[in-house]
């Protein structure tokens, strides 16, 4: 969080939304109003739909994809300035490699909940 500071982002993509908690939190804390917010998950819970509605009310440009993350990355130009990888934790590196080219070139600012990766690093 210290790394992000007070910076606000314009295109936030989250892989793995579940109930929408982190989508909501990151959008509200880290994104500009009118920012593009994209949620990608295999299935959408009712709570995620509520969060979608609430973010729309607050002028975010939100779009949800009910698809595997590995099938959606091609829709992005080089525009993502905040990426939260939290889908299949066994495939964090693959997701990272698929989405990395779509991250805004000079910034490449990434937040990843690399739970498993961090655990692995801690063990080694
Ligand atoms: C750890 S949860 C996400 C939690 C959420 N980011 C939060 O913090 O509130 C993981 C989610 O990833 C989704 N998921 C698993 N494999 C996926 C894939 N290949 N593509 C997209 N979503 C996937 C699951 O359906 C699940 O909702």
Residue with CA nearest ligand 1 atom 27: 18
pTM: predicted TM-score of the whole model, two decimal places: 0.88
Q: Choose among 110, 15, 23, 109: nearest CA to 70.
A: 15
Q: Choose among 99, 74, 67: nearest CA to 85.
A: 99
How remote is the CA of residue 93 from the centroid of ligand 1, in Å?
Answer: 15
Q: Is 42 in the pocket of ligand 1 (CB under 6 A)?
A: yes
Domain definitions of the chain by residue range: 9-123
Q: Choose among 67, 55, 64: nearest CA to 30.
A: 55
Atom of ligand 1 nearest to the CA of 43: 25
Q: Name the band, by pLDDT with cuts 50, 70 and 90, for residue 115.
A: very low
Q: Which two tokens stand for residue 77?
A: 């130009």
Is CATH 2.60.40.420 the classification given to domain 9-123? no
> Which DSSP category does 59 fall into?
T
**In this predicted model, what pLDDT tens digit does every residue of 34-89 receive, in sequence order?**
999 999 999 999 999 999 999 999 999 999 999 999 999 999 998 999 899 999 98
| Predicted local confidence at residue 116, as pLDDT | 47
Residue with tokens 């729309």: 56
Mean pLDDT of the chain: 86
> Is pLDDT above 80 for 5?
no
Beta strands per DSSP E along 27-87? 31-41, 61-66, 82-85
- Ligand 1 pocket test: which of 15, 37, 42 has the largest number of ligand atoms within 8 Å of its C-beta? 42
Q: Which two tokens stand for residue 9?
A: 């982002």
Q: Name the band, by pLDDT with cuts 50, 70 and 90, for residue 2.
A: low
The CA-atom distances, in angstroms, between 64 and each of 7, 40, 117, 118 are 24, 6, 26, 28
- Ligand 1 pocket test: which of 18, 38, 43, 97 has the largest number of ligand atoms within 8 Å of its C-beta? 18
């Amino acid at each position: 969080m210290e790394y992000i500071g007070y910076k606000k982002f314009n295109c936030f993509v989250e892989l793995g939304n579940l109930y929408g908690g982190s989508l909501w939190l990151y959008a509200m804390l880290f994104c500009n109003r009118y920012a593009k917010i994209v949620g990608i998950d295999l299935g959408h819970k009712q709570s995620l739909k509520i969060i979608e509605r609430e973010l729309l009310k607050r002028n975010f440009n939100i779009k949800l994809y009910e698809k595997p993350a590995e099938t959606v990355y091609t829709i992005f130009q080089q525009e993502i300035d905040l990426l939260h990888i939290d889908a299949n934790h066994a495939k964090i590196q693959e997701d990272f490699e698929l989405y990395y080219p779509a991250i805004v070139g000079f910034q490449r600012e990434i937040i990843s909940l690399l739970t498993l990766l961090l655990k692995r690093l801690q063990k080694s």
